[in-house]
Structures are given as structure tokens and as C-alpha cells.
Amino acid sequence: MTELRLADRIFVAGAGRSGLVLKTAALRLMHLGLTVQVVGETTAPAIRAGADVAVVGGSIYSADNPALAAKELRAAIITRPSQE
């Protein structure tokens, strides 16, 4: 996907099984040489507008929803609605 290749950093976030799958995808993307962060990890930096992309999956309902934070910063968001 073009957004992933062009992003300075890729942030992944998900709840439950979706979160586990996205963490696995983050490792694979890192192996491809991309810079990837998992939202919620203690070492994850803040997402930057116009430079980073957020990949969000599953049902995430909380005050600190990563998709909402990314949207407010005008970062690109890649997501697929939950099938639940």
C-alpha cells in the first residue's frame, strides 16, 4: 500500500485478536525495513501530522482511541470496520 511505503512511521493499534494480528504485522513490516510503532507501548512516540500513518483494527471504544487521535492530528488512517 502506498501510504505505508511513504510514511515516516507506521503506528498500529487494535483490541483483542485484531490487536494481536496487528502486532504480528508490525513485526513483519519492521523486517521489511519500515519504522513501526505499537500504540500503547511505553516507548511509542507521538504520531505526527502529515508524516505518519495509523493502521487501526477491531473494535476500539475508549477515550484514548488511537484513530481519533490520528484524525485530530490529520495523520493518514488505514482501517477496516469491525465485522461485529
Q: β-strand 52-57 against 36-38: which pairing, if any?
A: unpaired
Q: Which helix (H) or strand (E) holds 76?
A: strand 76-80
67 closest CA partner among 12, 8, 9: 12
pTM, whole model, 2 decimals? Answer: 0.73
Spatial strand order of the sheet with 76-80 comes to 36-38, 9-14, 52-57, 76-80
pLDDT tens for 34-83 read: 999 998 889 999 888 788 888 877 765 554 566 666 665 566 666 555 55
Q: Which 3 state secondary structure label does DSSP give 80?
A: strand
